[in-house]
Amino acid sequence: MQALVIVAHGSHLNPDSSTPTHQHADTIRASGAFDEVRTGFWKEEPSLREILRTVEADEIYLVPLFISEGYFTEQVIPRELRLDGWDVSEWNSDGLSADTATLSATDTDQTVHYCGPVGTHEAMTDVLVRRAETVTDDPSVGDGFGFAVVGHGTERNENSAKAIEYHADRVSELDRFDEVQALYMDEDPEVDDVTNFFNTDDIVVVPLFVADGFHTQEDIPEDMGLTDDYRTGYDVPATVDDHRVWYAGAVGTEGLTADVILERTADAGADISTAIETVREQTRETTVADD
């Protein structure tokens, strides 16, 4: 037997924080790729510390539903799951290239293939573009549009900005959108000034966040000038400084994220190629936020 465990942050304050995690798990569970699919959280139940005890399989593929490598993926998760022998050097990563470390869970004797976070996988670029297609309701969107990838940004974790820049560069290399820009909430270039970075009349803005919450639903819309008060809502697109801003919401709410989770496990050696194709085809037609 082999199992998939998806771990995420969760929230005591935002009940919607865990929704994408549960729904991606449901999608993968329905595909039959794994004998078991479980979810565990830092701030919700079931907790990271107990999640492995709920899994019957001896072999586990563990995927962090996080955007970047950093404190949670390098310290909190391995510590709470008691992964014997873990050291960040096991990933041999430059902050973007974490792959897989195969370890033993100390108190359950299970073999755990600890995968890198979904946010740094190359397949996440496809999800970002899919968000643009979803928010504009146009599968060929690109010509005449600018594209902004938005991240938190923080001096405490330089890898946070690395992930944003990585995907912005990859979207740019597609040569699909007229302009592509990485923007941040807490460092320059700031999302507050989004219209200053584009000449295009239309701008798609996609936050590289796992779930919609305080930052994506309140801070960013207000910072960009979509609304003076998030509680009153905003138009999509909204007109800001003579530009039409198409705000897509968190990338992790896109159904295609389930494909990235499976890609991580395939990279770690899971034999699930048929399931990947099935899930990819299915989730191109759905968005978690609409379910």
Class of domain 2-120+255-286 (CATH, top level)? alpha beta
Name the residue among 158, 151, 38, 145 with its Cα closest to residue 94: 158
CATH 3.40.50.1400, domain 123-253, yes or no: yes
The domain segmentation of the chain, as residue ranges, is 2-120+255-286, 123-253
| pLDDT recorded at residue 154 | 64
Cα-based distances in Å from 153 to 57, 78, 161, 191, 208 = 38, 24, 5, 11, 11
Average pLDDT, the chain: 93
Kindly report, residue by residue over 19-34, the tens digit of the pLDDT: 999 999 999 999 999 9
2-120+255-286 and 123-253 agree in CATH topology: yes
CA-based R_g, the chain, Å: 19
**For tokens 């191109």, what's the residue?**
284
Spatial separation of the C-alpha atoms in residues 95 and 24, rounded to whole Å: 25
pTM: 0.94
| pLDDT recorded at residue 157 | 65
Residue 264 has pLDDT above 70, yes or no: yes
Kindly report, residue by residue over 64-97, the tens digit of the pLDDT: 999 999 999 999 999 999 999 999 999 989 999 9
111 φ, ψ to 5°?
-85, 125
Judge whether 224 and 235 are in contact, CB under 8 Å: no
pLDDT band per the 50, 70, 90 thresholds, residue 290: very low
**How many other β-carbons are positioned within 10 Å of the β-carbon of residue 63?**
26
